[in-house]
């Protein structure tokens, strides 16, 4: 059987919502198609996905989920031995009995891809594990299409000099701050003169955020120093502008956002909460003074 006749099914959640995993799944499907491969789409957000899987005759399934229900569905339909599971940092959620159940099924799969080497320690001997990058270069021919989804306010903002950009799915509290560093990025506007912030929050809901943060965001928007970029949109064209990408997370995988920024020549300032590409500027997570100092150095 030739490679072109070898049918691959790319299974996972496709955008929307736009996120690291969904973007990877969508781009992986498009990449295989562009290579002339025979490829099918299995979208987990479609409630009829199990019916589509039952009918599928793919030779290999690239499954971008470690959800136990998803894994079990592939098992009961007799597809598990043709599955390659891609671990996008999901295995860190499994301990104890749940881990034993997951590994029971995974042992029957073809192999596992992990997005960073440290994840290999989750899998015992007998399971084939390879490392794969979660970053697939976006199709730059889609630039105009992506930009057409931006508001005029965002288009004007990214054309007016240097700015920093912080990307978040939504506001998720974490200890005294939040998972994506929204609080810290807004605080930087107070503490670093003359910077501007593009705050990209896919699911922006002020009701879920501290009242003081919402008030600060509104004030900085009115002052022209902050631009809200909301909704399910791809961010990579922003990195082609005069931006510094912030990744202020307490834990992380191999961030697609960081990889995209570096690919397009955008400086990245990231926490030390996970191994980062060598091109990144790093600060110790939780140390705001170091974050501020490092950013000022990058902007000089």
In this predicted structure, which of 4-8, 51-55, 198-202 has the lowest mean pLDDT?
4-8
Tell me the per-residue pLDDT of 89-111, one tens digit each, with 9 for 90 and over: 899 889 999 999 999 999 999 99
Mean confidence (pLDDT) of the chain: 93
Q: Which of 292, 246, 289, 295 lies closest to 271, judged by CA?
A: 246
Q: Are strands 111-114 and 129-131 parallel, antiparallel or unpaired?
A: parallel
Tell me the per-residue pLDDT of 66-84, one tens digit each, with 9 for 90 and over: 999 999 999 999 999 999 9
Q: Which contacts qualify for 287-294: CB closer than 8 Å, 24 or more apart?
A: 288/184, 288/187, 288/191, 291/184, 291/188, 291/248, 292/188, 292/191, 292/192, 294/269
Helices 256-263 and 20-34, packing angle to 10 deg: 60
- The CA distance from 59 to 177, in Å, is 46
């Amino acid at each position: 059987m030739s490679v072109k006749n070898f049918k691959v099914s790319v299974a996972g959640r496709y955008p929307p919502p736009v996120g690291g995993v969904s973007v990877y799944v969508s781009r992986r499907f498009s990449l295989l198609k562009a290579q002339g491969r025979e490829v099918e789409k299995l979208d987990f957000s479609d409630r009829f996905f199990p019916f589509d899987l039952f009918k599928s005759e793919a030779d290999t399934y690239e499954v971008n989920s470690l959800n136990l229900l998803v894994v079990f569905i592939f098992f009961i339909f007799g597809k598990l031995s043709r599955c390659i599971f891609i671990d996008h940092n999901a295995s860190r959620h499994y301990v104890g009995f749940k881990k034993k159940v997951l590994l029971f099924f995974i042992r029957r799969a073809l192999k596992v891809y992990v997005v960073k080497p440290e994840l290999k320690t989750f899998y015992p001997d007998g399971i084939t594990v390879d490392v794969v990058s979660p970053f697939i270069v976006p199709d730059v021919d889609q630039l105009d299409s992506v930009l057409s989804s931006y508001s005029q306010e965002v288009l004007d903002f990214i054309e007016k000099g240097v700015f920093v950009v912080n990307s978040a799915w939504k506001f998720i509290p974490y200890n005294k701050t939040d998972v994506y560093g929204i609080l810290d990025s807004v605080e930087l506007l107070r503490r670093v003169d003359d910077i501007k912030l593009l705050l990209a929050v896919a699911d922006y809901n002020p009701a879920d955020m501290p009242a003081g943060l919402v008030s600060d965001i509104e004030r900085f928007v009115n002052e022209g120093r902050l631009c809200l970029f909301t909704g399910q949109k791809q961010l990579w064209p922003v990195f082609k502008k005069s931006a510094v990408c912030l990744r202020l997370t307490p834990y992380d995988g191999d961030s697609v956002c960081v990889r995209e920024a570096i690919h397009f020549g955008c400086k990245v300032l990231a926490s030390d909460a996970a191994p980062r590409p060598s091109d990144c500027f790093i600060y110790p997570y939780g140390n705001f003074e170091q974050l501020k100092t490092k950013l000022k150095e990058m902007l000089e």
